[in-house]
Amino acid sequence: MILLFFMVLAVTVITASIALMILTSSSTAQFVSGNQAKAIAEAGIENALIRLLRDPDYSGENGLTIGNGSVDITVTGSTSKIIQASGKLDNQIKKIEVGAELTNNVLSVTYWKEII
């Protein structure tokens, strides 16, 4: 009877450990995917900044492929530009917004933030 009790206890502990490992692995994969989506959005912002320097009338683009993900970029404003990039990877979406001033072909970034 004692042996049976310890076997049930061991099976319960092992099952709980495996469930915890699976949950942790899934959470880690989502965290990594979210960080990669943020990096894709930031790459889209950097692309937009370069494009704005070359063409002040640049208004953005959709579906730009970066690595395994994609980014949608929108640019609004005339001299005060607001650049928004939405990076997508798997089921993760991260958004970055940047404010910039474009005067006399000089582009100055005024703020850079993640939109939640």
Question: What pLDDT does residue 25 have?
Answer: 86
Q: Is the pLDDT of residue 29 over 90?
A: no
Q: Provide the CATH number for the domain around residue 11.
A: 3.30.1300.30
User: Considering only CA atoms, which of 14, 85, 13, 21 is closest in space to residue 49?
Assistant: 85
pLDDT at 104: 87
Question: Is the pLDDT score of 87 beyond 90?
Answer: yes
Cβ neighbours of residue 56 closer than 8 Å, sequence gap 6 or more: 102, 105
What pLDDT, on the 0 to 100 scale, is given for residue 27? Answer: 87
Please, which pLDDT band fits residue 113 given cuts at 50, 70 and 90?
A: very high
* Number of folded domains that form the chain: 1
- Does residue 60 register a pLDDT over 90? yes
Give the integer Cα–Cα distance in Å for 48 and 19.
44
- Domain that includes residue 101, residue range: 2-115
Q: What angle do CA 35, 37, 39 make, to 5 degrees?
A: 70
Mean pLDDT of 74-86: 94
